[in-house]
Amino acid sequence: MSSMNIAIPLHVLSVVIWVGGMFFAYVALRPAAVSVLEPPLRLRLWTEVFGRFFPWVWACVILILGSGYWMIFSVYGGMGALALHVHIMFSLGLVMMLVFFYVYFLPYRALKRATAGEDWPAGGKALGSIRRLIGFNLALGMLTVIVSTGGVYWNLAALTE
Helix axes 39-70, 107-116, angle to 10 degrees: 150
Residue pLDDT tens, the chain, 161 long: 678 899 999 999 999 999 999 999 999 999 999 999 999 999 999 999 999 999 999 999 999 999 999 999 998 899 998 988 999 999 999 999 999 999 999 999 999 999 999 999 999 999 999 999 999 999 999 999 999 999 888 876 555 55
Return the pLDDT at 2: 78
Are 17 and 60 in contact by the 8 Å Cβ rule? The answer is yes
Q: Which residues, 6+ apart, have CB-to-CB distance to 42 below 8 Å? A: 33, 34, 127
User: For residue 119, is it left (φ>0), alpha (ψ between -120 and 50) or beta?
Assistant: beta
The predicted model scores a pTM of: 0.92
Q: What is the DSSP string of 84-142?
A: HHHHHHHHHHHHHHHHHHHHHHTHHHHHHHHHHTT-HHHHHHHHHHHHHHHHHHHHHHH
Return the pLDDT at 154: 82
Return the pLDDT at 157: 57
CA distance 142 to 79: 23
